[in-house]
Amino acid sequence: DDGNTEAGDGCSPTCTITFDSPSTGYKMVYVPPGKYTMGCTSEMDIEDGCKADEAPAHEVSHSSGFYMGVTEVTQAQWQLVMGNTPSGFATCGGDCPVEQISWAEAIAFANALSIKDGLDPSYGLDLSLDETANGYRIPTEAQWEFAARGNDGTPFSGSTSIDSVAWYLGNAGGTPHPVASKGIPNGYGLYDMTGNVAEWVWDW
């Protein structure tokens, strides 16, 4: 989840500003404004890895910074906010990412966490976004990709080796794993932006 901010926009690309949810301790890190090339770029075209829906590569500019969760939302955090355990891999444990949730449920979580933390919910009953609200949001695709790239030029969000940063089909054993368990963040301090479980974004 992310929230736009104006207060930290003077932050340089190397500084770290964090925000913790008062009720859950969910940690977020500030991603500063900037430009990047969205889509499959040369460093990502490994073993013919570029797909048709990742082209054409094009420049995207973020004039405002935003906060992004340092990790995927965990099963324990979801339980604390929503009061249920929807995950198909519930036995993985509270530190594992929540999964098997719909886009609408991700929206509901953002609103519920906003209320729990005394913020204004960002989404209406019709799932429309109120951009004036100060509550939590799920990121846009452009925000997610910008954050995932980490301003570090690596193809796997923090490394040139997928096995060093990601749980995926080739090494995960058919199950999610505790968040940040690979121990290597990307350039913005974010974990599991490659691998583990899929993540929802606001726009289609």
Query: What integer pLDDT is reported at residue 40 of this predicted model?
Result: 84
pLDDT(102) > 50:
yes
Query: What integer pLDDT is reported at residue 46 of this predicted model?
Result: 72
**Measured on CA atoms in the order 176, 178, 182, 186, is the torsion positive or negative?**
positive
- H or E, element range at 75: helix 75-82
Where does the chain show beta strands of DSSP type E?
A: 4-5, 18-20, 27-31, 34-38, 58-62, 65-69
On average, the pLDDT of the chain sits at 90
How far apart are the C-alpha atoms of 156 and 148, rounded to whole Å? 9
- Return left, alpha or beta for 56; rule: phi > 0 is left, psi -120 to 50 is alpha, else beta: beta
Query: What are the pLDDT digits (tens) for 141-177?
Result: 999 999 999 999 898 999 999 999 999 999 999 999 9
Query: What integer pLDDT is reported at residue 55 of this predicted model?
Result: 83
